[in-house]
Structure 1
Amino acid sequence: MIGRIEGVIVYKQAPDLLVDVQGVGYEIQLPMSCFFELPAVGQTVALWTHFVVREDAQLLFGFNTLNERALFRQLIKAQGVGPKMALAIMSGMSAGQFVASVQQGDVSTLVKIPGVGKKTAERLVIEMRDRLKDFGANAGFDPSSSDPEPALMVSVENPLDDALSALLALGYKPAQAEKAVKQVAKADMDSEAIIRQALKSMV
């Protein structure tokens, strides 16, 4: 089990990250909520990680805090929720917002996330409600308050293409992702700003 990674960022394009740890490059996927807080390429980063081994792949997922990793691990325990969907859920809303949606039985908000249909959303509410009963208090989340906006990093040569690629990687359909990007994109925005606004427009 790889539980924590600390090294230098070699490459980042949402939601993918490559971190050099003493000459070994680790490919890591992060939810957008974590990706937005990364330092620039060439700087050191420390991430809590969850390692997934499948027959066809070995995947590493990264998080800025133990609380975020804990929520990810709870999500993938739910029936029908794999790592990709868990990543999309944590990208489409903050941990606090997800906890609040589950506690309030807010299925309508959950179904806006790619891959989460009505049945999956209802199952998430039922399965996760008890698991997350004390999660907010233990994790320091306040579902009644909005999370602060993380600082954006300057990046990308083609912000529109990079934003679109990130949304597609998270599971959004091409037409849906393209429409959202075009609606929010402005000339002075970098890819991370476009991604953030696009996610907000769809959830």
Structure 2
Amino acid sequence: MISYLKGIVAGIQNHSGNRHILTLEVNGMGYDLQISGRMTQQLPSSGGEIQVFTHYQIRDEVPFLYGFSSPADRDLFRYLISVSGIGAALAIALLDTLELPELVQSIVTGNVQLLIQAPGVGKKTAERICLELKSKLIEWRKSAGFFVATDGPAPGILEEVQMTLLALGYTAHEVSHALHYVSEEIGLPKDAFVEEWIKQAIAHLSSSEVSQ
């Protein structure tokens, strides 16, 4: 079993359906690995050296090699594809939509609204992921070093705040970071009014857009 490959980036191909193929040259041999769109942004330029953690899978007698930037990313991918009805494409879509700590937090806390932002993930699928993985990830995150954040609105108003911001067109990643900023940097109380959380989050997101 291949645990990881260390080699030179020979090329990146972008295919339809948001499929990204990294060609990695290792000791004169080229390996094609399917990776997430997020990982393509972390790769060195062509000719640069990188270590990629791998998952080998055979589907319909065809071998596939998936690449990840860390063992934790690969572990979570494996947890996701263990859920009934979740294939590699949906697992990668989830990893692309939310950063690893955010994805783990969403599953552990049953935050369906964030999970369904991933392409192809519906409400029932998101609920199934939470049901089947919550207890497993609670244990796994301890050893992996990921802990559910306590910042952000209180659970009773969190979903309403998120749904409002998502409906305004912000991505799940932007919403998560905005709520973290409002909590940590501004110090807004967890039980503040929904309207105040939304107002402060939009103000931060708007200022971020202007500064870009």
Q: What is the TM-score with the length of structure 2 in the denominator?
A: 0.65
- Other-structure match for 2:124: 119
Structure 2 stretches of 5 or more lacking a match?
15-19, 152-168, 177-212
Cα deviations by residue, 1:127-175 (Å, 9 ceiling, x for unpaired): 01011012222112244289xxxxxxxxxxxxxxxxxxxxxxxxxxxxx
- Who is 1:2 aligned against? 2
Q: Displacement, 1:39?
A: 1.2
Structure 2 counterpart of 1:4, one-letter code: Y
Which has the higher Rg, Structure 1 or Structure 2? 2
The 3-state SS of whatever aligns with 1:134 is: helix
TM-score, structure 1 as length reference: 0.68
Q: Going by fraction, where is helix more abundant, 1 or 2?
A: 2
Q: 1:49 to 1:127 in 2, by over 3 A?
A: same
Q: How does 1:115-194 map to 2 (within 5 A)?
A: 115-144=120-149
Within 2, Cα distance between the matches of 1:145 and 1:28?
36
SS of equivalent residue, structure 2 residue 50: strand
CA RMSD in angstroms, aligned pairs only: 2.5
Number of aligned positions between the proteins: 154
User: What percent identity do the matched residue pairs reach?
Assistant: 32
> CA-to-partner distance for each residue in 1:12-70, whole Å, 9 max, x for gaps?
24522100112211111112343322111101111110011122521111112111111
SS of alignment partner, residue 40 of structure 1: coil
1:24 corresponds to 2:55: no
Residue 83 of structure 1 corresponds to 88
Assess, with a 3 A threshold, how the Cα gap between structure 1 residues 59 and 78 changes in structure 2: closer, same or farther.
same
Q: Which residue of 2 aligns with 1:12?
A: 12
Post-superposition CA distance 1:93-140 (Å, at most 9, x none): 011111111121111111111111111011001001011012222112
Greater relative contact order structure (CA < 8 Å, 6+ sep): 1
* Pick aligned residue for 1:37 from 42, 47, 59: 42
